Chains A and B, each alone.
Chain A
């Protein structure tokens, strides 16, 4: 995409302006996420760059791990009035619990459905697909309202069961979409070959189909996990303090006591998303290689 050597000065100017503009947009996309990381290591109780942090040569007193200690519930620091509790850790445990179970259920249900949907004989494919994807499409606030009314009738509000059911419903579309995408171009001759060699359907599934679609299934599971892990609207209405999750605690934190503890958790979540992003990207490439689709 380099500029040809015969480009006119006007074209050159346009080209460099275009590159500059793209640079600004990339900066716009990434800057907020990068900015919060150093502030989370600040000593000051405010969410900003203190003068000490910006000073040259660096001042070690301006930096500390104190907010991370707060986050994990070590409240030995007596100089501060910011409330300190083990809520963040309770939230983390709950988030992993809810996210883990929702992911498991969503992945099993979603993968089965994707296998069915990719069969050539599936009746009412379009209609069923739109029903299955609908939780992803409807705005969360509407979903939350509808589920709140309905789950209240059957006493599922303020329970883990209710939240997990809601999260499974929200995250299955991601599993269905990713697994269906993996199944596009799936060579059905392989299952036929396996069956003609005497394997029963279950054995064929675990020995032939599963290894081939595994990258898609794992990607789908990671999408499902992050959906549940980050979900805040449903949790806001349907969870009591007993079902405190990280997003619920963050929401409360932003609303009430703005302290850098939130940024510590945010930094951890950014690290988590980098990890998930890398995994999904590696899986995608592996899947393309396995299915013989060359990387464009």
Chain B
């Protein structure tokens, strides 16, 4: 580009525009062009993925649906002075009567489920009441005292604990699902208490999920380290060949590998068969290795092992072999040379592989579901359970949100240590 030098500090292009301005313009145009290339995918991911995840996070605290059904009741309820009267005033009963009597049947049904999370007993109370109220509404003879009528229909309406539990439903948002996700719930005074004994399952499952992930990560490290070392130090001809053993499971369908483990581990399976054939086990002494925790850990270790070996391999590949030789030349025994010279250099690989395996293990669903049996279930099982079986979508979302939070923290760590765009495949 031809330039005219007019003054000492301002350079002009042939068009007479200052070069600075012209350059900035080009720069901006380049930025826009680059962004336009990325834009379609960015928009696609935001619409099909980020928004649904955000929607799920909102759902985990959302309590607006119940407000829709009992809008009038809640309005009157807020005016009730609990210090003065033991039971709410007539206006609350009247609003409740109208909300149930003229409300949308389907919405009331859904709200009942939500009410039952706050206090069990709501379900039958509302159901029974609704039937009677519908009769009264149909007959057209509206009661003079709504309070007496309702208490007559069901004694539950004279029970203050039901009314107290209603105070948890007033807000548009609720943290109750998060408390449920860690085995807590509200008592009648809206204080957080432990769930009843038989309903405490989630804390134990969270701990189990962590434990399994730690075990799997540890086993992957112990099994993966020597293999990665061997692959990194063998001549290329051999290591390329052996790499197939790592990459083939990596490319094979997860379901295929899980099925294969069922075939291997079941009571009539390959491993038990070989042990019996070798005479190590008697025919009736076959070990139960599948449909329990052992099965989950064995299968998950094999499935996640490539994710440990590959990052370790790429780190070990670039450690010069001369380092170990130099250390030994200087008088270090092999073990000492390994511990002081080689091992510290593999730490980036170990942390990358470790975090990757841990993060993948913690969100695992398919393998524990199929080979875990009853006691090998991890937190993913409950997310799926509440999604499809109990339709408790609030709790499902809360469990998912907690899991997501843990993942994000771990990935943030991963990013600090390795850098997220350093992920390599194969």
Contact = CB atoms under 8 A, between A and B. Distances in A.
Given A141-B383, A150-B55, A33 B249 contact: yes
Interface stretch (A56-64, A80-88, A116-124): A116-124
Contact of B396 (A49, A110, A145, A174): A145
A165 B51 CA distance: 13
Interface in B10-58: 27, 30-31, 33-42, 44-46, 48-53, 55-56
25 contacts: A1-B233, A26-B227, A28-B223, A29-B305, A109-B44, A121-B30, A131-B45, A138-B53, A139-B364, A139-B403, A144-B387, A145-B396, A149-B393, A150-B51, A151-B52, A169-B49, A172-B41, A172-B45, A177-B424, A250-B256, A258-B262, A270-B248, A277-B247, A281-B247, A281-B426
Given A22-B226, A123-B35, A137 B407 contact: yes
A98 interface: no
A218 interface: no
A26 B388 CA distance: 39
Contacts of B383: 141-142, 145
Contact of A32 (B260, B268, B387): B260
A296 B245 contact: no
Interface of B: 27, 30-31, 33-42, 44-46, 48-53, 55-56, 59, 223-224, 226-227, 230, 233-236, 242, 244-249, 251-264, 266, 268-270, 273, 302, 305-306, 317, 334, 359, 362-366, 370, 380, 383-384, 387-388, 393, 396-397, 400, 403-404, 407, 411, 415, 420-421, 423-426
B366 A233 contact: yes
B425 A135 contact: no
B56 A137 contact: no
Contacts of A89: none
A141 B363 contact: yes
B56 A33 contact: no
A141 B365 contact: yes
Prevailing SS type, chain A contact patch: helix
Contact of B34 (A28, A116, A166): A116
Contact of B245 (A30, A230, A251, A270): A30
A262 interface: yes
Nearest to A176: B41
Contacts of B317: 296
B269 A48 contact: yes
Given A47-B263, A121-B34, 9 more contacts: A32-B261, A48-B268, A141-B400, A146-B53, A149-B55, A169-B44, A233-B365, A237-B384, A266-B259
Given A116-B35, A141-B383, A134 B252 contact: no
The 3 closest A-B pairs by CB, nearest first: A139-B363, A116-B37, A32-B260
Interface residues of A, number: 96
A149 B48 contact: no
A145 to B, nearest CB: 5
B249 A121 contact: no
B230 A270 contact: no
Contacts of A214: none
A254 interface: yes
Nearest to A30: B245
Given A26-B245, A145-B56, A250-B259, A140 B51 contact: no
A33 B251 contact: no
A73 B245 CA distance: 33
Contacts of B251: 226, 273-274, 276-277
A141 B42 CA distance: 22
A36 B262 CA distance: 10
B50 A134 contact: yes
A270 B259 CA distance: 12
A25 B221 CA distance: 12
Contacts of B45: 131-132, 134-135, 169, 172
B245 to A, nearest CB: 5
Contacts of B254: 230, 232
A138 to B, nearest CB: 7
Given A233-B366, A251-B255, A270-B252, A119 B50 contact: no
Nearest to B255: A250
A247 B255 contact: yes
Contact of B262 (A47, A129, A180): A47
Contact of A36 (B49, B260, B362): B260
A109 B41 contact: yes
B41 A29 contact: no
A32 B263 contact: yes
A93 interface: no
B257 A33 contact: yes
Contact of A131 (B42, B235, B244, B362): B42
B302 A113 contact: no
B425 A223 contact: yes
Contacts of B245: 26, 29-30
A48 B263 contact: yes
A26 B231 CA distance: 11
B216 to A, nearest CB: 14
Contacts of B39: 116
A39 B48 contact: no
Contacts of B411: 137
A18 B226 contact: yes
A36 to B, nearest CB: 5
Interface centre among B46, B242, B244, B266 (most CB of A within 10 A): B244
B31 A122 contact: yes
B306 to A, nearest CB: 8
